[in-house]
Structure formats: structure tokens, C-alpha cells
Amino acid sequence: MKMMTKSAASAAAIIAAASAGAINVPAFVIGTPRMDAAGNVEKLMQEVKAELGRVGDDVRKVADDALAQAKANGDLTAETKNTADKALMEFNGLSGALMKLEGKLEALETRNLDLEQTVAAGGRGGGETGQTVGQEIAGSEELKAWVAGGLNGSLALKPKNAITTASGSGGGLIWDTQDRTPANMARQRLPIRALLMQATTESDVVKYAKQTTRTNAAAMVAEGGTMPESAYGWTQAEANVRKIAHHTNISDEALADSGQLEAAIDTEMRYGLDLEEEAQILAGDGTGQNLSGLVTEATAFSAAAGLPNVTRIDRLRLGMLQLALASYATTGLTLNPIDWAAIELLKDTTGRYVFGDPNVSKTPMLWGADVVPTISHSAGEWMAGNFLMAATIYDRQASEILISSEHGTNFVEGMKTMRGVKRLAMAVKRGSALVTGDFTFA
């Protein structure tokens, strides 16, 4: 047991001596690196590893002897076990010390290489305004005095030049983050088309029969009596196919250098066609190449006498009544989002919301009809209707986007022209199924 105690103490002493530089390891390996040690890195590493091997052999021998003694006695005393465990822990500690030495020696070699390059360059900064750490060391007065003194002893240099984002420091390793998803402008919601009946056509004109006369003379008739005559009449109406189109010019270089540009413009041009289509469906005036829109063909609002007509909700309900009196059931109400917000913000005399609970999310509805807010309507304008019965859209050509150099001087200028086209017709077959008005109150 004296042998075990002595070896454990020796292991502790070896670790302590290593920290102090007494294990045949130069002091500057543990402490501040000396500037002349760069050429001895490999030799020093071999010496330290050899010392660790010798100490490891001693520790393992002591542990093996202790365990053999315990087995010979038939029992492993707590003291013996603790001493062996301590010896192994000290060996592990010395192994950790070696790892630290290796890290310090690698850092020393890196620093010496930087210094050699700086000295070889004459300590000049190449015209840059900032100094690197190597340049600062090479130009320090402490280094110059140490060299002039014969390179005796050790030298500890603490550079003052911090690593920053500036050029010549850490900035060279800092790269900009690129988010290649474009932040496009907002797109308007286009809900009006979805309210209508939709079909297709293979012609440039859609003809349909529109009833213009209904004289119902049906009456009670006695046996043998003369039956009254009713009269019905239809006239042929037509809706012409109209074209919506636009184009844009793009350079060959822009298309070649941006892989997503063509797709982005394609998407934008399709949206542009749909945006104009929405405006024409709702409010086209029917002149020239314009469609005759819903508001243009709708029946003007006329309030029934003797009923409340002082709020937006009152007026929309009266519009629905007008449709009901014309034998149509209202399926939807369209209006500007400003007016819809005004309706939702109505309060009673106690400050409670009239329309409903603002904490409850639900599909906008009034009097059982869907509400469709859209900025295609002007503020203050509204429409009530049975939209499926009122109008039909006939698609002749879906949105088509083409790109070509065959336009003007594109070929010699290195340009491409992208065009978007769609063709459709709209027939408002029952203008009486739509009522339009405003929220102007006397």
C-alpha cells in the first residue's frame, strides 16, 4: 500500500510539474508561447507524448498491483479501491493536459506562420486603413526590442486590434443573406366572376333567345266558355367575344440571368388580364370593345315606400325586397370593403355591435345572402342579385402568355416581347335579377 500511495502522489506531482514546466516540457508550452518555438513544434509534441506514455505505464502498473493484492487477499478494501480510482483519474487528467498542450502548440504554429508572412511583407498593410492582428504584432515596439535584445527569454504579445466586420478583419468571412423570393405588390381579390354562370364558346359571337313578352291571360272559364289568349314573345340577342390583352418587353440578358424572371412576369401578366376582366364584368359600359357589365345592365334601386331606409343595412334589405317583388331570390350582395366595415361597426345605444360578435369568425352574410366585399366596387356603391340567373360568361380563349423576338426592332436590340391574351363574352340575360344603388342618404 506504501507503493500505491507513493505512485499516486508521484502522479499528482507530475501533473503539477507539467503545469509548472518541470516535465521536460519548455515553460512556454504551458504558458505564453515564445516566438522562436515554431520550428520545434514536432519535437516538443513528441517529448510530451513520451512523458505521458511513461506516466501512464506507472499509473497502470500501480493499479494492476493494487488489484492483484486485493484478489490475493480475497477482498478489495475500500482504501485500495479509492487509491486505484484516484490514480486512474490522475492519469485521465494528464491526458487532458496533453490535449491542451496540443491545442496551444497548434495555435503557436499558426501565429508564427502569420508573423512570418507579416514580416516577409515588411509589415505593410497594402494601403488598407485597418491593421490585421499579424500586422499589429509585426510592428509592435515590444517585438522590436525583444529581437534587438538577442531573442532571450520569452515574449508575451497581446494585440489590441479587435476582430470586427471591417475589411481585413472578420469581414471577409461575413456573407450577405439572399432571400430570392420576390416581395411582390399586393394582388386584389377577384370574386365577381365566381358568382356567375360559366360556359365556353367556339365562336366569336354568342346568340341566345331572350324573352321580351309575357301576357298571361289565364282565367277561370265555364264549361263551353271561350278561353282567353295569352301572349309570349322572344327576341334573339347576342354577346360578342371581346379580347383583353397587354404586353411587356424584356431584354435577352435579363431573361438569361434570372431563372425566375420569365415565370414571374408570366404570373403578373395573367393577373393583369384577370384584373381587367373583373372590372369589365362588374362595370363595363358596353361601348367600343368593352363588355356590358352587371352594374350597367342592373335595375336601378327604388325603395319601397313606408319602410325604414336610414342605414346601409336598411338599404340592402330594401334592395333584396325589390328583387323579391320581381320574383328573384337574392343570392349575393356586393359592395366596397369600406361600406362593409361600416356595417360591421354599427352599434346600438348601449355600445353593443348590431351585426354580431367581433370575436366570432364567420362567412360574411346579411339576411341569409352572401356578402362579397370587393374594391372593384366604388365606395358607396352596392348591388344585390341572383347572379347565376342574371348573367353567363362564355370563355373563348383562356389566358395565353407568349414570348417572341418578332416585334419591332427586338431582334437587333436583343429584346423579347411577352404578350398576354384572353377572349370572352358575357351575356346579361336577366337585368331584372340585379338591383344596384348607393348609400347616399338624404
pLDDT one-digit tens code per residue, 57-103: 766 776 677 667 666 776 656 676 676 667 667 666 666 666 666 66
Strands 369-373 and 381-385: unpaired
Compute the distance between CA of residue 127 and CA of residue 420 in angstroms, rounded to an integer: 55
Which H/E stretch holds residue 42?
helix 41-73
Q: Which residues of the chain, if any, have pLDDT below 50?
A: 1-38, 125-128
Catalogue the E-assigned strands of 94-230.
197-200, 205-215
Please report the pLDDT score of residue 321 as a whole number: 97
Write the DSSP symbol of residue 34. Answer: P
Check residue 5 and give its pLDDT.
36
Say which residues have a Cβ less than 8 Å from residue 81's Cβ, sequence separation at least 6: 70
Please give the Cα distance from 91 to 11 (Å, whole number).
7
pLDDT at position 175 is 80
Distance from C-alpha of 118 to C-alpha of 133, rounded to nearest angstrom: 10
| Per-residue model confidence (pLDDT) at position 11 | 39
Whole-number Å distance between alpha carbons of 127 and 110:
24
Question: Which of 355, 348, 343 is closest to 311 using CA atoms?
Answer: 343
Residues paired with residue 297 on neighbouring β-strands, in sequence order: none
CB-based burial of residue 38 (10 Å sphere; 0-12 exposed, 13-18 middle, 19+ buried)?
middle
Cβ(34)–Cβ(154) under 8 Å? yes
Q: What is the pLDDT of residue 291?
A: 96
Determine what percent of the chain falls in helix, strand and coil, rounding each to the nearest 5: 45, 20, 35
- Residue pointed to by grid coordinates 506504501: 2
Looking at residue 114, its pLDDT comes to 60
Give just the sign of the alpha carbon dihedral 405, 410, 411, 416: negative
CA torsion sign for 131, 137, 142, 146 is negative
Residue 235 main-chain phi, psi, to 5 deg: -130, 155
How far does CA 407 lie from the centroid of its chain? Answer: 37
Tell me what pLDDT residue 110 has: 62
Tell me if the pTM is above 0.85: no
Q: How far is Cα 221 from Cα 418, in angstroms, rounded to an integer?
A: 70
The whole-number pLDDT of residue 183 equals 84
